[in-house]
Each structure stands twice: as structure tokens, then as C-alpha cells.
Structure 1
Amino acid sequence: MSKSQKSLIALLGVLLLFFGFVIMRIGVAKPASTVKVAKIPAGEYDPAVWGQLYPLQYESYKKNADMSPSPTGYGGSVKVQKSEMMPELTTNFKGMPFSIDYTEDRGHVFAMEDIRETKRIGPKSPGACITCKTPYVEKFYKESGWGFAKIPFNELATQVPSHGSISCANCHNPENMDLRVINPAFTEAMQQRGIDVSKASREDMRSYVCAQCHSEYYFAPGSMKVVFPWEKGLKPGDMYAYYADKPNGFVQDWQQPDSKAAMLKTQHPDYETFATGTHGKAGVACADCHMPYVRKDGQKYSSHWMTSPLKDLDAACGSCHTQGTAWLADRIKTTQDYTFEVLHTAGQNVARAHEAIKKASEAPNADQAELAKARELVRKAGWYWDFVAAENSMGFHNPDQSLNTAAQANELARQAIESANRAAGINLL
């Protein structure tokens, strides 16, 4: 064997040893981004206890207490009355508590504090109102089933300690940190759609944990059970058709006192809007944008600062979009501005429709059939308008649908005014 051959063999031996060591290290050592799973006792709802074992996630969760306006001027976590931006809310919700108090939501950590303080809650408010405000709903449901929904809200609220707002236990199984849903209304609604949440993929669960609360619902008369109106679909027209069937004997949320129309109040249909939009259909999860992956001290973890993607566009959007933060911010702001312009006009016309119907009903020999038609039109207009107004993205979760829905609300309000004019036999507005 020549000297050069011996040298080559020696070099190959060194390389084999080196790469073997590297492969062994990769196979044996855990990467810095791995989060060690720790078991937490069932029924532990204090996020500070969870935070002792998951300090990075807990530190980011505490940022939800930071209150600041939205970078685009829509939403945000400052507790201001929404009627300051949309005065038509006062008329459109006249006769029900949202006309008295309708503030921006401050975020998950304030959920119990805000519902205790709101003027919308009174001695007659049912326990169903607590469903999406605290992880203690798991305890209430285990103890009473849906019976908790009929217990007075104030009675249940006294059982929730100061740490009891929305937190870790709402979305995580304490035994293994798997994502979970604790709102039985969501699980039941998904079952009706043929989806078994217990068998959902982790990627689906990264939206479902949000959807269990960020969705439209109503209280079934009598039982006060929380129900999601999804049997016919997730679009605004699907849900309006569902309500037309008077499900569980449910007819209305309230009667607007001017028009006497039986109205529906939409409750933050964020998931429904997102799920039928571009991102939802493309398989993007809520957490991808609102709880993006971040790194600290070499560890990769999901941020638990559940906030607007605008607060960190690089982390929230940069993994998919390469156009830069300035382009992204402008795209979001433009979409929201256009949506608000159409929505605001529609809301004003819904308010005018209530006024026109009131005047028509006071006219001598008013056509009752036309009045009934006008009331149905303003009911539908109000639903379509509120579907966009109550949704938290000002159209961005689904720009095409949101603009179309607001435009339909505007047209329906116009038709309601025309019908009121015909009922009175004169032009009222």
C-alpha cells in the first residue's frame, strides 16, 4: 500500500469519526426549541401556576394586559365606546343593552373584570353569559351540565377568583398540553356539522381553540343553552336562514322600539368570517397570525400575546409574505378603510329605515302588509350590517365577503325605507 493510499484511508477515518459524532449528537440531543412538557393538576385554572412551568409562554401571555389602540384605528384594546366611531349603534341597538354600553374588548386577561363592570349585565342575566369568559366554565359544566346556563350570572361570577379570566386552561389539556376545547356549545355545533373535535388535527385545533368563543351564538329560550347557528353553514346568509326557522323557539334577541322589528344581535363572528376567507381556505390557522412562533434564548415557542398581527408583522405575516411590513400594513389599512366606509353608510341607512318604519306605522290607514315587509327587510339589513360591525377584523378576515355583506345591508335598508314609504303612501325619508 502506497504512502498516499495510507494517508487517504486515515483521512476517511477521521471524517467518519467526525460525522458519526455529529449524527449522534443530532439524534440524541434535544433541539433548543423543544418545550419540555410538564403535567399540571386537573382543575388548576391559575395561569401563574402554569407560568412556573412555562415561563416564556406566560411572560408573553401577560402582555395581553397592555392596552393600546389599533395601529389602523379599528379595534384595539382601549376601552372606548364603539358608538364614538359609529353613532348609528345607538339607534340600531335601541331597546337592548348594547345601546347603553358597547365598548371595545380589552382582551382575554380582562374578560371577567369587563363583564362584571359592563352595564349590559344585571340581576336577571343568565349564567350562560359566563361561558366564554373563564376556564371555570369547565367546572360549572361538569357540575351541572347545561344547567349552569340558567343559574344567575352574578351567582357564578362570585365563584370565579381574580385570576379566573380566559387563560391557559381554556385551550390546553393540563396533563399533556394538547390543545383542547372546553366550550360544549362549540363541540356540539361541530358534531352537527359532522366533525368530531376530539379527533381533530393539531393544525385544526390551532383554530378551534379560538373558534370556541370567537363565534356567533344565541341562548335557547327556556334552557338558556348556548347554541351556534351553523346547521346551514357559516356564511351570513346561511345563519340568517337558520334563524328564520325559529330554532329551539328562538325568534329574536330584542324588538327595536321605533320600528317594532324583531331584531337579531350578531356576536363577534370572527371564526365564521375567517373560515370562509382566503387564509382560512388556504389552511392558515388563527394562531399562525395571532400567536406566531417567536424565539427567545434559543427556544422557539408560540407567542401567547393574542393580539393584532399588526403589532409584529414580521413574525405574524413574514413567514408567508415577502413583500415587506410597509406593504402589508398598507394592505391591511386599505382593506379596513374600504370596509368601514361601506359599513358606516349601511349602518346609517339601517337607522334611517327604523325611523321610516316608525313614521309609517303612525300614518293613518298604513298598509300593514307593507309594514310587515319593511320590518323583515330592516331585520335582515340589521343582521348583515351587524355581521360585519361585530366582527373584530373590520373586514380583513374575509374582505370580499365583508364588503359584499355590508353592501347587502345597505341595499336591504334602502328597500326597507321604500317599503315604509309605500306603507304610508308618502315619502317619509
Structure 2
Amino acid sequence: MGRKKTILLIAVLFLFAISGIYFTNADAQYKAAPAKKGVQAEKSVKADSCYGCHPVIKELHSSGKHSKNLCSNCHKELDKHLKAPGPDTRPVTDTSWEACGQCHKAQYESFMKEAYHRPARDEKSQLTNRAPNPFWDKLMAGHGFTKEHNLTRSHNWMLIDHLIVDRAYGGRFQGKNSWQYLFEKGKAWEVLKDNYPDVKEHKAFIPQSAAAANPVCLQCKSQDHILKWAYMGDPVEGARWSRTSNVVELVKDLQHGLNCFTCHDPHAAKPRIVRDGLIDALTRPDGDTLWHKDPKRTGIKVIDMGMRGFTRKIALLDKYDTRLQCGQCHVEYNCNPGTDTKTGEAVKMGDRRTNHFPYKDVFGLYEHYVNKVNFLDWKHALTGGLLWKAQHPESETFYNSKHAKAGVGCDSCHTPKAKDKKTGKVYTSHFAVTPRVQLKETCLKCHTKWTEEQARYAIDSIKAHIRGKMRKAEFWLSALIDKVVEGKKAGLAEDVIKQAQDQHLRAHILWEYWTAENSDGFHNPEMARESLTRSVDESMKGIKIINDAMAAKTSAK
């Protein structure tokens, strides 16, 4: 009998043990992120507690790899909100890199890695850079980018670099430790200071600077304010920030450069885009973008995330597509006021054209801006003609290139796969940098017969060829500008000057696109060569218009 009791006791204890293991594992499926050092641990909150009021989040969260993650991993101060849901008790959403880095450690560490292959504040207008002077300042006369226009630096510094550049905030923001800011990583306002904190006016404070930044510029620098910004930046009730906000006040609400959730949906753990201008372009009824014309285009699902009384959209992608994800920022878009080409009236930040993506290559931009959108950026200081200002159009340039058609993505060359030295797991490096820095992991993966020296030689040869074409385009643009000025001084008819100014605009677009595009044409050398040589042709046509009119005027005398 004693033996039977012993066996029964062991069986009962075994069942309790099994039950304990089961319930422990069940709870463990709801993964709590490790607490940060020095921060009081939040009370764990499971997703079921939030699903009732957030059906859209439920659909996303329950569909992906994050389905077992706790809401309290990324949302803090949930107790008050759960007890009394409403706008006054909204939880604090952690938009930091560390929020994702707690679990995605290898990706986080690679993202925070420094790129020292080129200096900071390396102006494109330097003699050996992409758009050297003396032509740059002449060809862009009257535009803020003549104050300072730099080559790129690491993603984690992009907000800081935007805040401190001379053309953006008039020099009001500087490093707390002077030039030591170059090495300091972290929240922007732990690194920088406002030298004029009591001045709310957005203006220039130091010589040869400009206050050209505006709220739309910041959409490509940070998404810290994603929950406070309505679709397209419309100034609507409930949205704290909009296209028309005081940008000096807005930037004080931002801390991080490129956020993880810009490309990765934190609820569904799926690829996405959040940039409203791109979503707007991809959903235009006329279907005129590169993406629309691509028979193999990646599908998107647009979702309205507006839970705060205003529309806010994201778009999930059917698969990872870096042309779209990187194309949220590495893209041509308008982000500033300008002039209506039909009426001649000012286009101000209240107009949606100040947050606009064409998503077309260089050959479609004249027609798009002049005849479809009726918008141009600024008036050239010497010719008086309206011109267009390019933003970094890498995505559109690469879209139909030979590399893209071969299945190469932005990630193949700039954020390749890497192996964790400790775990042996393969992950996507988030150290976004030129492939020249990591040739073995990029170029040589496909070009297996090349050496690193040969890969570097191929890159440099293509870039050298295109830079040569850029210099020729600049020479002829400069000559055209001189001719227009000469024609105006000579009193040529207004219609003649307008024709020449239009030729200037055409030639300018075909050239300046490549000063903003950050590969010296490497992303699509065939397109670059055609565009730049056509720029020369258009400049020559403009010069001929003035010369013919001058000859006719002389002959008439």
C-alpha cells in the first residue's frame, strides 16, 4: 500500500510539474522585451487588453511574427489608458532605435555603426566633389542649397546633420560640445543645442546661412512624430503637426534619425512604407509612376491607421522591396513652397503640392512639374526664370536599371547579408554605406571573378565617365545663363527671353537631377549619359535662340 501511495504521489507531482511547464511556456510566448538599465520596468500588458478598441492593430498584430509580443514592449504608461481610455491618457510610444534593438540586436548594432570613409559636412560644391564650384553657385543662384549641400553620412546621424546644416535653420542649432558632435550618437537634443531658444521665428542667424527647412523636409529625417501627423501633413484637428507648422517648434519634438518602423511594421513584422507622399503617388488614379508601369511591381495594401480623429495611412508590402522602402527618402519629391506655372502665384505650404512625389525618372519630370502639377521651385537670380530643384532620386534612377532588372536591390549593395560572429545566424546588416566599404559582401557576391581592386576600378570608371558629362553640361548651362542675361540687357522681346528661359529649365532638369542623385550615375549609367548629353543639346538650343534674336535685332538696325 505504501508503495502505491508513493507511486500516486510521484504521478501527482509529475502532473503539477507538467502543468507548471505548460503555463510557464504559454505566458512566455508573450515576450516581454528586456528592461533597459536604470529604467523602471513597465507592467506587462498583453495585446488582448488592447484589441477591443484597436481592431486595425489586432488585424496587424495577430498576423505576424510579433503576435506574441506585449503591447508594453513599445508603449509605456499603459495603466492610466487601460483604466480610462481617451486622448488625455494616451500611452507613450517608444520610437527609439533601442525599442527594436532590444530584440534585434545585430541589426541595431550594425545600424549604429559609424561610416568614416568620407568626412562629415563634405560639400558637393568642393572642387573634387559631385557639383563643384564655380559652376554650382552660378547655376543654382538664388537657392538655399548654395549655402551648404553635403554628401551623405550614416543614417543614425541624418536628423542631426539636417538640423546643423547651414542652409536649414540659419545656424541656430550647434553641437553642445562644438565639433565633437561628429562622434556623438544618440538623441538629437542630447547632442545639439539651440543658441536662440527664446526666438520662435524661423530665420538666418549667422552669415551666409539660410532658413530653408520646413515640416515636409523632416518626413525624410525622422518619423518620431508619426502619430501626430495627418496624411499628407494636412492641417486638421487632432494632428499636432502639419505642413504649415512652425518648423522650429516641430524639430524640438524629434530625437531620432531614420526610425526602424519606417520600413518595418512593428505590429505585423512585415515590410511597409509610411511616407505619405509616396503612398499618395502609388494610389494616384492616373497610374503614371514607374511602379504602376512595372508588370512585376510589388503589391501594396494601404491601411488607414487613424485612431486619433484624423486620417493616417501606411502601406504594407507583399514582400520586401527596397526600391519602395528606400524610395520613401531616396527619391525626388517636392517639399517646399514655390510658384504656380500657370498663374504665377505663390504656392504656399498649405497647398498639397508642397508634399508631392512624381515617382518618375528624369525624362518625365519637365512634363510632370510644368504641365501636370504646374509647380516650380524658385526663380534663378541671374536669368529671372523659374527652375526646379532636385532631391535625391536614387530609387527612380535605379528602378529600371540593368542591376534592378537582374534582381539586385538597394540592400544587395548597401545593406547586405552578414553573419553574426557569436551565433552564426545570418541577418541583414543595417550599416547603410557605399559598397566600396564592403566589396566582398556586395559586388563580389555576383561578380565572383573580380578582385576587390577590379570592383573598385569598375565603380570608379563609371563614375568618372558620368562626372565628365556633368562638367560639360555645367559649361553649357553657364553659357546659356550668360546669354539670357545678355539678351535681357539688349532688350530682346519678352517671348524670346521666355523661350530661352524654357530651354534653360529643360537643360537644368536634365543636369541637376544628377547632382542630387548620390551615385554619380552609377545606379543607371545609360540614363545618366543620355540625360546629361541631352542637357547640353537643350542649352545649345537656348543659346541659339538668343543669338538668332540678337542677330535679327542688329540686322534690323
- State the match for 2:74 in structure 1: 41
- State the match for 1:109 in structure 2: 156
- State the match for 2:367 in structure 1: 241
Distance 2:365 2:467 in 1: 22
- State the match for 1:410 in structure 2: 536
Q: What letter is aligned with 2:380?
A: Q
Distance 1:96 1:145 in 2: 24
Residues 121 and 271 of structure 1, relative CA distance in 2, 3 Å threshold? same
- State the match for 1:149 in structure 2: 243
CA RMSD of aligned residues (A): 2.3
Asked if 1:213 is matched to 2:301, the reply is: no
Q: Is the 8 A contact 1:309 1:317 kept in 2?
A: yes
Alignment of 1:386-425 (within 5 A): 386-425=512-551
Partner-residue secondary structure (3-state), 2:234: helix
Q: What letter is aligned with 1:343?
A: M
Alignment of 1:190-339 (within 5 A): 190-192=282-284, 193=287, 194=292, 196=300, 198=315, 200-204=317-321, 206-219=322-335, 221-222=347-348, 223-225=350-352, 226-230=355-359, 234-247=360-373, 249-250=374-375, 252-296=376-420, 297=422, 298-324=424-450, 325-339=452-466
Distance 1:128 1:177 in 2: 27
Residues 142 and 243 of structure 1, relative CA distance in 2, 3 Å threshold? closer
* CA deviation profile, 1:69-125 (whole Å, cap 9, x unmatched): 2xxxxxxx6322211131111011101101122122223212221221223224174
**Bigger Cα displacement from structure 2, 39-48 vs 287-296:** 39-48
- State the match for 2:485 in structure 1: 358
**Bigger Cα displacement from structure 2, 191-200 vs 392-401:** 191-200
Q: 2:109 aligns with which of 59, 66, 77?
A: 59
Residues 158 and 144 of structure 1, relative CA distance in 2, 3 Å threshold? farther
- State the match for 1:4 in structure 2: none
Residues 187 and 143 of structure 1, relative CA distance in 2, 3 Å threshold? closer
- State the match for 1:14 in structure 2: none
TM-score by length of 1: 0.82
* CA deviation profile, 1:138-171 (whole Å, cap 9, x unmatched): 223259953211112111101113xx11131221
Gaps of 5+ in 2: 1-64, 76-92, 170-201, 203-210, 236-241, 293-298, 302-314, 338-346
Q: What letter is aligned with 2:281?
A: A
Q: What letter is aligned with 2:217?
A: C
Q: How far 1:426 sits from its partner (Å)?
A: 8.7
Residues 253 and 284 of structure 1, relative CA distance in 2, 3 Å threshold? same
Q: Is the 8 A contact 2:232 2:276 kept in 1?
A: no
Q: What letter is aligned with 1:271?
A: S
Partner-residue secondary structure (3-state), 2:243: helix
Q: What letter is aligned with 1:136?
A: D
- State the match for 2:309 in structure 1: none
Give the fraction of aligned pairs with identical amino acids, expressed as a percent.
23
Alignment of 1:77-156 (within 5 A): 78-85=120-127, 86-87=132-133, 88-122=135-169, 123=202, 125-142=213-230, 145-147=233-235, 148-156=242-250
Q: How far 1:370 sits from its partner (Å)?
A: 2.3
Q: Is the 8 A contact 2:216 2:233 kept in 1?
A: no
Q: How far 1:266 sits from its partner (Å)?
A: 0.9
* CA deviation profile, 1:289-335 (whole Å, cap 9, x unmatched): 11100102311000000111111111112332212222222111100
* CA deviation profile, 1:144-203 (whole Å, cap 9, x unmatched): 953211112111101113xx1113122112234322211111111112235635463323
Distance 1:119 1:395 in 2: 27
Distance 1:388 1:372 in 2: 25
Distance 1:110 1:261 in 2: 36
Residues 199 and 80 of structure 1, relative CA distance in 2, 3 Å threshold? closer
Distance 1:308 1:208 in 2: 19
Residues 137 and 338 of structure 1, relative CA distance in 2, 3 Å threshold? farther
Q: What letter is aligned with 1:415?
A: K
Q: Is the 8 A contact 1:294 1:300 kept in 2?
A: yes
Gaps of 5+ in 1: 1-35, 70-76
Residues 397 and 349 of structure 1, relative CA distance in 2, 3 Å threshold? same
Q: Is the 8 A contact 1:44 1:169 kept in 2?
A: no
- State the match for 2:344 in structure 1: none
Structure holding more helix per residue: 1
Distance 2:227 2:156 in 1: 19
Q: Is the 8 A contact 1:207 1:287 kept in 2?
A: no
* CA deviation profile, 1:343-368 (whole Å, cap 9, x unmatched): 1121122122112211111014x133
Residues 390 and 143 of structure 1, relative CA distance in 2, 3 Å threshold? closer
After the TM superposition, which segments of 4 or more aligned residues of structure 1 sit over 6 Å from their partners?
A: none
Q: How far 1:137 sits from its partner (Å)?
A: 4.1
* CA deviation profile, 1:199-240 (whole Å, cap 9, x unmatched): 633232x3321001111111473425411114xxx2212121
Distance 2:281 2:399 in 1: 15
